[in-house]
Amino acid sequence: MDVELAKPFIKAAIDVIGTMAFITPRPGKPFVKKNTIATGDVTGLVGLTGEGNKRGSVSISFSKGCAVAMVKNMLGDDIQDILQDVKDAVGEITNMISGQARAGLSEKGLVFAGSTPTVIMGDNHSITHIAKSPIMAIPFETDAGNFTIEFCFE
């Protein structure tokens, strides 16, 4: 897989999480993921469709600490139901990062539309990507915890 394809996702994550949650993500080295086990406790997943039956998916898996810190920074003290708020925030952040990254991919000639995000919660949950191509993973560290963006497309 072309590491150039990771750049729009890295830029989008830094922009969106920095702007929305006031957290500075530090990207690690992208790698090809060999299994379906999520690296975090809460995952947002967006399906992608493109021209000529091209398809794929993007997921962002957050550690509990990172997800809760994002929610607190986004909502302040206005947290009603921490589980529901985390689910909503992860869905929204995933949607925004996916959208910005898709804009960057379209400049490289890869045009995709995204689905509404699905949010999966729980220890050791699995992420099933739609495409059968290799899964590129980009680990990030923050002062509040870690998250990983995964993507693959045909």
Say how many residues make up the chain: 154
Confidence (pLDDT) at 102: 96
Distance CA 6, CA 91 (A): 20
Rounded to two decimals, what is the model's pTM? Answer: 0.94
Contact at 8 Å (CB) between 95 and 89?
Answer: no
**Nearest Cα to Cα of residue 97 among 111, 114, 109, 82:** 114
**Model confidence over 1-57: pLDDT tens digits?**
577 899 999 999 999 999 999 999 999 999 999 999 999 999 999 999 998 888 999
Tell me the pLDDT of the chain averaged across its residues: 93
**Nearest Cα to Cα of residue 61 among 118, 113, 16, 108:** 118
